[in-house]
């Protein structure tokens, strides 16, 4: 299972249920990486998408505590265990966890790869991704050249969980 996320220097990912910044190359990377695959997200993440609709060309799995929540075009699960059972239908490398912060934390133990766009800036954030640099079981196995978007510098990193 994979995770895909954009983080700032403090591993912040969002504020008030919105991304901290929208970088076109990062959005393109997200689209290309997840298209045709399975995406796992929380309800609040889904509701930030245009018209609150599931992402096209993907199998959308939405996790929510609300037993009455339904959304057309998505599979709704109510517990991590239920979601993991649903995910058994798919190849591990086809699955991408896409947020938000509580979903990332809950699924991190099941993931082997994290695609992290690391932005060299500190934003005011109220949602965070676990700091993989502080976790000895995660190592960087891929690092792009530094990219720029206006005055923002960022890079695409690939972290992999190593067997302990």
- Tens digits of residue pLDDT in 32-51: 999 999 999 999 999 999 99
- pLDDT above 70 covers a percentage of the chain that reads 99
Indicate the average pLDDT of the chain.
97
pTM for this prediction? 0.96
Look at residue 164 in the predicted model and tell me its pLDDT.
63
User: How many domains, the chain?
Assistant: 1
CB atoms under 10 Å from CB of 149, counted, come to: 14
The mean per-residue pLDDT over the stretch 72-77 comes to 97
Cite the DSSP H helix spans in the chain: 24-34, 43-47, 80-87, 101-107
Helices (H) and strands (E) in the chain, counts: 4, 12
The closest of 46, 18, 47, 45 to 125, measured between CA atoms, is 18
Look at residue 125 in the predicted model and tell me its pLDDT.
98
**The domain that contains 45 carries what CATH number?**
3.40.430.10
Can you tell me the distance from the alpha carbon of 18 to that of 96, in angstroms, rounded to the nearest whole number? 19
Where b means 16+ CB within 10 Å and e means fewer, 22-34 reads ebeebeebbeeeb
Asked if the model's pLDDT at residue 84 lies above 80, the reply is yes
Domain boundaries, position 144: 2-161
The mean per-residue pLDDT over the stretch 107-115 comes to 98
Look at residue 97 in the predicted model and tell me its pLDDT.
98
């Amino acid at each position: 299972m994979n995770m895909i996320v954009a983080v700032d220097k403090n591993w912040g990912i969002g504020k008030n249920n919105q991304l901290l910044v929208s970088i076109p190359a990062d959005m393109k990377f997200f689209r290309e990486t997840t298209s045709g695959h399975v995406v796992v997200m929380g309800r609040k993440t889904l509701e930030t998408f245009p018209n609150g609709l599931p992402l096209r060309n993907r199998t959308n799995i939405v996790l929510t505590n609300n037993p009455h929540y339904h959304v057309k075009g998505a599979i709704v699960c109510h517990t991590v265990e239920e979601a993991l059972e649903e995910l058994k239908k798919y190849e591990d490398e086809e699955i991408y966890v896409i947020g938000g912060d509580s979903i990332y934390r809950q699924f991190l133990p099941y993931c082997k790869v994290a695609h992290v766009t690391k932005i060299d800036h500190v934003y005011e954030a109220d949602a965070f991704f676990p700091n993989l640099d502080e976790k000895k079981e995660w190592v960087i196995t891929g690092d792009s050249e530094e990219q720029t978007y206006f005055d923002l510098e960022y890079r695409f990193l690939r972290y992999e969980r190593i067997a302990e």
